[in-house]
């Protein structure tokens, strides 16, 4: 393998991260398990690799095995020393401004989240309300709240590995949203996370909107496989996938879902499981599943799976629109008006959905070990929202086994996950997952997919 083009440089800070305590510097430079250097290095490399295609964190880390990042303390503040960083992040040996901003967002969030989780006594991680407040604190620290702005943030979910026609469609939808002055929030990566931002950017330009928001929410386990795309101008790193998902639904005012794979299915199941909770029955949150002509089969499989496992009430929580970007945007605009009226009437904040009820089963971090995956209760006699939570965990584990460094290593060491449950339900899952494989939605096109799971009917 040929050596990559690299650059070493000293980088000045942007944003609020201009000074660090000696304790913070020590933690960031600590290579032991108790330190943050490994995490800081991995997330920084992902930000510096935003123009690269791929979905393997392991491959990225191997390609740039000689990359390192160090803190340079000076009497006037701090600087970052980048050693053997990807050359694509530089122009004329100067780090691109947007990459530099996101690099210091990584520094900000890693330090802040570490302090909240390890040493802040205010948070009981077994308390649902405390977890919500932790998510709030991370977003507030990242300046993600604009208090007086009426609801206009549309969350867009979808696969990082989608076909060209599907990617172009996400741009068309984003364009229509941008023309209607909506801001975009995605998982910050490529594919269906980049397309809506790109389209909305043009829509904002035509409306002469100069301060459009393109918010990327990610977490350390996924960022190296889905590096932030170049359009993201507000990057926030949450500590785990569960808090990332909660940040989406607390910060966003409507949800659009494009074609994807198990990660997208995880997001759909998460949101449906929350919306099925009786306390959320009257809370407006428009959810649209959409794609271009030719994507009907994908949505039919998702819709059939939801109907056959979670029931008709779950299917009523979303609508499917094929090949009509303007209609998607129009319906979303109406949905945002409903959100505005509802929150004004109930005194809820425009910038954070406090009234949404999220149970602990959707908040507790799920570690996708072989034992935990095998022990998931997958039976139709469970309450629908609880079954949705369990199905969500299974999809999360499959994502980990496909592309996350720790999950890939577990599969390599112990073989595929063994998934079992009620025979009829497992047959539905097998059909859905096989459709993802057949449609090349588990890996980048052209790459061979070796399943990280095995369906066992108990």
Q: What is the DSSP string of 37-80?
A: HHHHHHHHHHHHTTT-----HHHHHHHTTT-EEEEEEETTEEEE
Spatial separation of the C-alpha atoms in residues 433 and 443, rounded to whole Å: 13
φ, ψ of residue 383 to 5 degrees: the values are: -55, 145
- pTM greater than the 0.85 cutoff: yes
**Mean pLDDT, residues 187-216 taken together:** 96
Burial of 191 (0-12, 13-18, 19+ CB in 10 A): buried
Q: Are 393 and 376 in contact (CB under 8 A)?
A: yes
* 445 pLDDT above the threshold of 60: no
Least confident of 238-252, 262-276, 310-324, 433-447: 433-447
Judged against a pLDDT cut of 90, whether residue 317 lies above it is answered with: yes
Confidence of residue 49 (pLDDT cuts 50, 70, 90): confident
Give residues with Cβ within 8 angstroms of 426, minimum separation 6: 378, 419, 420, 455, 456, 457, 458
And the tokens for 82? Answer: 């980048």
Query: How far out from the chain centre does Cα 148 lie?
Result: 26
In 53-163, which ranges are continuous DSSP H helix? 57-63, 97-118, 128-141
From CA 359, how far away is CA 243, in angstroms rounded? 12
Identify whether the C-beta of residue 197 lies closer than 8 Å to the C-beta of residue 175. no
Q: In b/e form, how buried is each residue of 194-215, taking b as 16+ CB within 10 angstroms? A: bbbbbbbbebbeeeebeebbbb
Q: Give the pLDDT confidence score for residue 151 in this predicted structure.
A: 97
Cα radius of gyration (the chain): 21
User: What confidence tier does 250 reach under pLDDT thresholds 50, 70, 90?
Assistant: very high
Q: Are strands 6-11 and 77-86 parallel, antiparallel or unpaired?
A: antiparallel
CB atoms under 10 Å from CB of 404, counted, come to 24
Phi, psi of 130 (to 5 degrees): -70, -35
167 or 220, which is more confident: 167
Distance of CA 407 to the CA centre of its chain: 17
115 pLDDT exceeds 90? no
Beta-bridge mates of residue 53? none
The predicted structure's pLDDT at residue 60: 80
Distance of alpha carbon 423 from alpha carbon 430, whole angstroms = 10
pLDDT digits (tens, 9 = 90+) for 74-85: 766 688 999 999
State whether residue 123 is helix, strand or coil: coil
E strand or H helix at 8, and its extent? strand 6-11
Average pLDDT of the segment spanning 118-141: 85
The pLDDT score that the predictor gives to residue 241 is: 92
- Cα angle 456, 242, 272 (rounded to 5 degrees) comes to 70
Query: Which domains are delineated in the chain?
Result: 6-121 (3.30.1850.10), 124-458 (3.40.50.450)
- For position 338, what pLDDT does the model report? 97
**Residue 53 banded pLDDT, cuts 50, 70, 90:** low
Nearest alpha carbon to residue 182 among 290, 345, 331: 331
**306, 315 in Cβ contact below 8 A?**
yes
């Amino acid at each position: 393998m040929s050596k990559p083009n690299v650059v070493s440089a000293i980088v000045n800070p942007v944003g609020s991260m201009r000074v660090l305590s000696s304790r913070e510097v020590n933690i960031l430079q600590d290579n032991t398990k108790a330190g943050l250097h490994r995490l800081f290095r991995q997330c920084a490399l992902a930000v510096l690799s935003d123009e690269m295609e791929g979905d393997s964190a392991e491959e990225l880390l191997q390609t740039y095995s000689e990359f390192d990042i160090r803190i340079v303390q000076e009497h006037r503040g701090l600087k970052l020393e980048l050693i053997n960083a990807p050359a694509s992040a530089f122009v004329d040996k100067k780090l691109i401004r947007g990459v530099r901003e996101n690099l210091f967002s990584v520094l900000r969030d890693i330090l802040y989240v570490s302090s909240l989780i390890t040493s802040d006594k205010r948070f009981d991680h077994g308390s649902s309300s405390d977890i919500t407040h932790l998510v709030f604190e991370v977003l507030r620290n990242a300046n993600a709240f604009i208090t007086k702005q009426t609801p206009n943030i549309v969350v867009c979910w979808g696969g990082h590995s989608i076909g060209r026609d599907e990617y172009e469609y996400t741009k068309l939808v984003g364009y229509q949203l941008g023309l209607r002055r909506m801001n975009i929030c995605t998982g910050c990566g490529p594919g269906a996370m980049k397309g809506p931002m790109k389209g909305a950017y043009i829509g904002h330009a035509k409306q002469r909107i100069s301060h459009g928001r393109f918010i990327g929410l990610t977490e350390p386990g996924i960022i190296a496989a889905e590096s932030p795309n170049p359009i993201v101008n507000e990057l926030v790193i949450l500590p785990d996938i569960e808090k990332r998902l909660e940040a989406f639904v607390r910060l966003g005012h409507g949800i659009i879902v494009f074609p994807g794979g198990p990660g997208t299915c995880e997001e759909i199941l998460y949101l449906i499981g929350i919306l099925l909770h009786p306390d959320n029955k009257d809370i407006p949150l428009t959810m649209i599943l959409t794609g271009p002509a030719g994507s009907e089969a994908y949505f039919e499989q998702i819709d059939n799976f939801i109907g056959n496992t979670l029931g008709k009430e779950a299917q009523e929580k979303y609508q499917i629109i094929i090949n009509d970007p303007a209609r998607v945007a129009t319906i979303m605009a109406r949905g945002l008006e409903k959100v505005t009226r509802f929150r004004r009437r109930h005194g809820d904040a425009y910038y954070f959905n406090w009234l949404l009820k999220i149970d602990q089963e959707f908040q507790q971090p799920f570690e996708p070990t072989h034992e935990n995956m095998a022990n998931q209760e997958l039976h139709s006699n469970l309450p629908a929202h609880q079954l949705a939570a369990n199905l969500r965990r299974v999809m999360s584990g499959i994502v980990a086994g496909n592309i996350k460094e720790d999950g890939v290593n577990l599969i390599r060491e112990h073989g595929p996950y063994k998934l079992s449950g009620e025979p009829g339900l497992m047959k539905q899952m097998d059909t859905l997952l096989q459709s993802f494989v057949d449609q090349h939605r588990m890996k980048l096109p052209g790459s061979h997919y070796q399943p990280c799971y095995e369906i066992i009917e108990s």
